[in-house]
């Protein structure tokens, strides 16, 4: 069984950084792709759908962005704490961390590869009967057509961490492709990489829930075996991402970078800058196939490029007004554009292809207040902004640099994600 290699083109959603190559997990995925084939080539043109979770109720609403109409409001088992799109943007992944529960909504707009042709589907959204119930589901890292869902476990109850590998096909079939359980609990992460998963390890002597090492696991059927634990440590590990050659993990003292070369993995450390304030660290990392550099984030608005080749970290002077705070952000995994909404109501676009420099900045909100969330469309140049205070959703045309309100909600929005058929998928044929 093989996992796809990151060097192929991306078709994934935003919260993750993508990778792919032929592997054993692909074999499992092939077995799951047994949908009936009517041998008709159908192509659907749509701007997609939005999944929006309710802040104060156990509900998720699905909207059609072609008509700006509510398609369905679903009752979830618990209030949703995290909302993600599945690797091919068909399903909304509903994380209910405090209740140890994960549900899925089929957005109803998706594409299947029927070998001799591609077939598009446009159906009513539906709540899946497939659920996952391990302790504290948290990070959801997408690697092209697959994703690793990490369960932190419970350190107080002695429940170990674990992760599950998912694809759109496996979710549709109500199953995971492979799973792994650790020896103890940790707030960890997992990056799928070829036949391997590069993931986290917490030593027994560490009292914090944060891991302090990184290890390589290798796929064996529906489970994993340990290949190696990298000697370089990564204290207080939090945040991970990958590009076509490297995987990066945020550490208390810098960034641990794993390089893949001819199937072998080696670790190096990029140290924090001397200018870091006491206690400051890289806690979030963004990566893209469009750049050799990673974008590291400290204290929510201090941005740094991390160069794996030179082992150097450089601060970005990306803000026009350093008094601004960051209200929300989102990475477009296909284009490599990182969208950042600031407290002055301006949206900044950082371009991975240009070493994460700001390529555009324009106003989208007047006098922002409250909480916001962003979702990037994979079908066009649109970014959606949910505004909890005003109970609205804005559509931002990042090419024309214009914004308009498209939804007036009767609930307070919390999380938002885009579902549908990605533009790159449309170009493939």
Q: Average pLDDT by consecutive 10-residue portion of the chain (429 residues)?
A: 40 37 43 47 89 99 98 99 98 99 98 84 98 98 96 97 98 98 98 96 97 98 97 98 97 98 94 94 98 97 98 98 97 96 99 98 97 98 98 98 98 99 60
Q: Is 97 left (phi over 0), alpha (psi -120 to 50) or beta?
A: alpha
Tokens at residue 176, please? 């995971």
Count of other CB atoms within 10 angstroms of residue 7: 11
53 within domain boundaries: yes
Does residue 361 lie within any of the structural domains?
no
Q: Does 290 reside within a domain?
A: yes
Q: Output the pLDDT for position 86.
A: 99
Distance, CA of 285 to CA of 238 (rounded, Å): 9
Give pLDDT, residue 345. 98
Is residue 360 assigned to a domain? no
Global pTM?
0.89
In angstroms, the CA 150 to CA 129 distance is 20
- 7-49: per-residue pLDDT in tens? 333 334 433 333 333 344 444 444 444 444 444 557 899 999 9
**Measured in whole angstroms, how far is the alpha carbon of residue 244 from the centre of its chain?**
16
Asked, for residue 342, whether it belongs to a domain, the answer is: no
Question: What letter would DSSP give residue 2?
Answer: B
Ramachandran quadrant class, 38 (left: phi over 0; alpha: psi -120 to 50; beta: rest): alpha
Q: Dump the DSSP string for 258-290.
A: EEEETTEEEEEEEEPPTTPPTT----EEE--TT
Any domain includes 402? no
Give the pLDDT of residue 121: 95
Residues 105, 63: Cα–Cα separation, whole Å: 13
- By residue range, what is the domain housing residue 197? 24-34+42-319
pLDDT at 31: 43
Does the residue 330 lie in any domain?
Answer: no
CA dihedral defined by 232, 238, 242, 247, rounded to 10 degrees? 10
Residues 6+ apart with CB under 8 A from 264: none
For 336-347, the DSSP string reads TEEEEEETTSEE
* CATH number (domain holding residue 95): 2.130.10.10
Query: What gap in Å lies between CA 134 and CA 119, rounded to an integer?
Result: 34
Residue 302: which of 287, 315, 286 has the closest Cα? 315
Residue 313's SS3 state is strand
Q: What whole-number distance in Å separates Cα of residue 145 and Cα of residue 126?
A: 21
Q: Is 380 contained in some domain? A: no
**Number of separate domains in the chain:** 1
């Amino acid at each position: 069984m093989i996992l796809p290699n990151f060097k192929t083109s991306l078709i994934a959603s935003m919260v993750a950084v993508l990778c792919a190559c032929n592997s054993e997990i692909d074999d499992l995925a092939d077995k799951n792709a047994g949908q009936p084939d009517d041998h008709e080539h159908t192509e659907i043109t749509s701007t997609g759908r939005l999944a929006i979770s309710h802040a104060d109720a156990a509900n998720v609403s699905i909207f059609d962005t072609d008509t700006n109409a509510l398609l369905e409001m679903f009752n979830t088992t618990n209030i949703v704490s995290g909302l993600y799109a599945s690797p091919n943007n068909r399903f909304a992944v509903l994380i209910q961390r405090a209740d140890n529960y994960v549900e899925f909504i089929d957005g109803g707009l998706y594409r299947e590869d029927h070998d001799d042709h591609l077939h598009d589907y446009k159906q009513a959204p539906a709540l899946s009967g497939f659920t996952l119930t391990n302790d504290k589901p948290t990070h959801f890292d997408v690697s092209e057509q697959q994703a690793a869902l990490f369960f932190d476990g419970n350190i107080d109850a002695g429940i170990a961490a674990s992760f599950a590998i998912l694809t759109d096909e496996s979710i549709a079939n109500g199953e995971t492709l492979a799973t792994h359980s650790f020896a103890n609990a940790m707030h960890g992460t997992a990056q799928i990489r070829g036949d391997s998963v590069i993931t986290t390890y917490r030593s027994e002597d560490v009292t914090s829930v944060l891991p302090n090492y990184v290890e390589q696991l290798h796929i064996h059927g529906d489970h994993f075996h340990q290949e190696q634990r990298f000697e370089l440590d990564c204290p207080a590990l939090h945040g991970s991402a990958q590009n076509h050659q490297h995987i990066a993990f945020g550490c208390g003292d810098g960034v641990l970078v794993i390089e893949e070369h001819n199937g072998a993995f080696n670790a190096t450390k990029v140290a924090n800058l001397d200018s870091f304030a006491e206690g400051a660290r890289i806690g979030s990392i963004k990566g893209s196939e469009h750049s050799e550099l990673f974008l590291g984030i400290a204290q929510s608005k201090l941005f740094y490029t991390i160069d794996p080749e030179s082992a150097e970290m450089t601060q970005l002077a990306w803000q026009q007004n350093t008094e601004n705070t960051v209200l929300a952000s989102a990475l477009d995994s296909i284009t490599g554009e990182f969208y950042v909404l600031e407290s002055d109501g301006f949206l900044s676009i950082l371009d991975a292809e240009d070493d994460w420099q700001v390529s555009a900045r324009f106003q989208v909100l007047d006098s922002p207040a409250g909480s916001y969330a962003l979702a990037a469309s994979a079908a066009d140049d649109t970014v959606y902004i949910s505004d909890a205070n005003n109970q609205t959703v804005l559509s931002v045309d990042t090419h024309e640099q214009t914004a308009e309100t498209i939804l007036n909600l009767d609930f307070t929005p919390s999380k938002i994600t885009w579902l549908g058929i990605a533009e790159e998928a449309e170009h493939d044929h």
